[in-house]
Homo-oligomer: A and B are copies of this chain.
Amino acid sequence: MATRLIDIAEKAGVSLTTASHVMRGYTKSKIKLETTDHDLKVADEHGYRPNAIARSLKIQRINTIGLYTGYGYHSLRDPFLAEVYTGIQRVCSDLHYDFLVHVDIEGKEPSEIRLRLNDGKVAGLIVHAQSGDAVVAELARIRMPAVAIADRQSVLPSVIADDADGMRQLADYLWSRGHRHIAYLTSHLKLASIEARSETITQLMAERGGRCTVLPFPQLHPAEFLAQLMESEDRPTALCCWNDYYAYQMVRVGMDLGLRIPEEIAVVGFDGLLDTLLPARKLVTVGVPWEDMAAEASKMLLRLLDGETLPLVTTFPVTLIAGDTA
């Protein structure tokens, strides 16, 4: 049981109110400097910190914001989300907020999910979801403070990229290099940005007398897809991919097929997220199951909360991964 304000007050020999005033640096009512100093000292000795929960309940505010994404738990291996997290954290850090990753929301009905998001743990949400996400509609209905990022939500203030302009720049670039027939590789996700991008480029190419074929990105057999595409009579000369990840996959598949890029097939992406730090070499290294370890640590933490005693050290095995750099 952590020390409470009343404990501090008692130890310091003052009332609860006085202690509270001192802790909050209340200036209106002038408290004796002596009292103040003494109180603070006592609080410090006991490592006292006001309980944020009780405080939130009283003042009806909480300095925590959350993130809702349509997907279950967020894969931070997705460089896009990593950027989003980093941005949120930067601001939270500056403005003294904490950042709650809502994860207890999986496999539920939309209405139930929004209930979970609205249980008072966060003051508001950053939202990244597909168009027509039912949860987002619910959130808007109950006027939960929320801002959409990257993919526009009609019912929320949205922070988006200038997708159309980006596509125009790409179209200009490709056109000036002589491309008259391109393919746009889209995603199965119903994201506003994807629609904006594919529509814009299709229209731009058509306006100029060229054309753009919209195709779903071949998740399962990218190599077969590209091989077939290259053999087709009326084939596109450039692949315009929804994002960098898709694009790099196409580049790799192209290289595997022995295609010269960009001479035989040009590839462009969208995002500017993935850099080229990693050469096309396979590193000799030691594989560590970091994710499993973090999972195990979390489980242990919860068991700890249950009063269980845990071993001081839990060691996971690691494995050498062969490569070509050594």
Give A66 to B144 CA distance when docked, in angstroms.
Answer: 24
Q: Is the CB of A267 within 8 A of B283?
A: yes
A165-B318, A301-B147, A320-B173 given as contacts; is B86 within 8 A of A326 (CB)? no
Q: Is the CB of A52 within 8 A of B301?
A: no
Q: Is the CB of A104 within 8 A of B97?
A: yes
This protein's copies in its complex: 2
* Chain B residues closer than 8 Å to A292, beta-carbon distance: 87
Q: Distance in Å from the Cβ of A90 to the closest Cβ of chain B?
A: 5
Q: Is the CB of B291 within 8 A of A83?
A: yes
* Chain B residues closer than 8 Å to A145, beta-carbon distance: 301, 304-305
Give A158 to B81 CA distance when docked, in angstroms.
Answer: 28
The listed residue with most B CB atoms (<10 A of its CB), out of A81, A174, A294, A304, is A294
Give A318 to B76 CA distance when docked, in angstroms.
Answer: 23
Q: A31 on the interface (CB 8 Å rule)?
A: no
Q: Distance in Å from the Cβ of A127 to the closest Cβ of chain B?
A: 9
Give A225 to B192 CA distance when docked, in angstroms.
Answer: 47
Q: Is the interface of A mostly helix, strand, loop or mixed?
A: mixed
* Chain B residues closer than 8 Å to A320, beta-carbon distance: 166, 169-170, 173
Q: Is the CB of B286 within 8 A of A247?
A: no
A86-B75, A298-B91 given as contacts; is B111 within 8 A of A103 (CB)? no
Q: Is the CB of B53 within 8 A of A62?
A: yes
Q: A102 on the interface (CB 8 Å rule)?
A: yes
Range, interface on chain A:
35 or more
Chain B residue at minimum C-beta to C-beta distance from A248: B278
- Report the stretch among A32-40, A112-120, A129-137, A204-212 that lies at the interface: A112-120
Q: Distance in Å from the Cβ of A157 to the closest Cβ of chain B?
A: 4
Q: A324 on the interface (CB 8 Å rule)?
A: yes
Q: Is the CB of B126 within 8 A of A294?
A: yes
* Chain B residues closer than 8 Å to A52, beta-carbon distance: 119-121
Q: Is the CB of B87 within 8 A of A294?
A: yes
- Report the stretch among A5-13, A228-236, A269-277 that lies at the interface: A269-277
The 8 closest A-B pairs by CB, nearest first: A87-B294, A272-B287, A76-B82, A83-B290, A266-B326, A91-B298, A73-B89, A166-B286
